[in-house]
Amino acid sequence: MSMRIVVLGAPGAGKGTQAARISDHFGTPTISTGELFRSHIAAGDELGQLAAGYIDQGNLVPDDVTTLMVADRLSLDDVAGGFILDGFPRTLAQAAALDRILGDRPLDGVVDFEVQIDAVIGRMLRRAVEQGRSDDTEDVIRNRIRVYHEKTAPLAAHYRERGLLISVDAMGEIDEVASRVVDALEHI
Ligand code: ADP
């Protein structure tokens, strides 16, 4: 099955984990902008150096830079049969850019992971200890959540109006949430 899917949700909502599950289940590759940025940062290249300044403060990397990176990635052969896009779009401008990139093969659905923010903060602080991410300190987490509310949360209404939104309750065990998502996607 060819699926062109976006996963949306607050920082720490478990999007990345669930994207990996969807990917395994349907055999569709995942593209994570956070992971792409982190690999550029690890490589120490120009894009990585630019992105690090934003990411470490919990701010968004500028739309034009992010969109170019995603357009490049979506031009590779492995996504011809579909993809799960994790972390993009994060602004309405990026959503418009994605429509342009996809052209006449638009998105099939947008999965929105719904969580309670308080639970998410605890989850992220634990992840900070496990993974040592430089943007997982408490102040930066609070800023990422603020940026999410301001810039990214409006995307849910945007995609709902287009009939693409699939809301999933993301509180609960990983397996439980994963089966809710798989069920929902099997019916699109
Ligand atoms: P999370 O979903 O846990 O916040 P991600 O790994 O998706 O983490 O993203 C980490 C950081 O990478 C973001 O806080 C942001 O700085 C940057 N980033 C990721 N995707 C985008 C995007 N689409 N636009 C701008 N910045 C982004």
Q: Is residue 65 part of a domain?
A: no
Q: What amino acid positions are annotated as catalytic residues?
A: 15, 90, 127, 133, 144
Q: Determine the Cα–Cα distance for residues 29 and 79; give it in Å rounded to an integer.
A: 7
pLDDT tens readout for residues 68-80? 999 999 999 999 9
H or E stretch covering 73: helix 63-74
Q: Is residue 98 part of a domain?
A: yes
Range of the domain at 15: 3-31+83-185
pLDDT tens readout for residues 64-120? 999 999 999 999 999 999 999 999 999 999 999 999 999 999 999 999 999 998 888
Q: Is residue 92 part of a domain?
A: yes
At 148, the pLDDT band (50, 70, 90 cuts) reads very high
Number of domains in the chain: 1
Residue identifier of the C-alpha nearest atom 4 of ligand 1: 11
Q: The pTM is what?
A: 0.95
Q: Is the CB of 123 under 6 A from ligand 1?
A: no
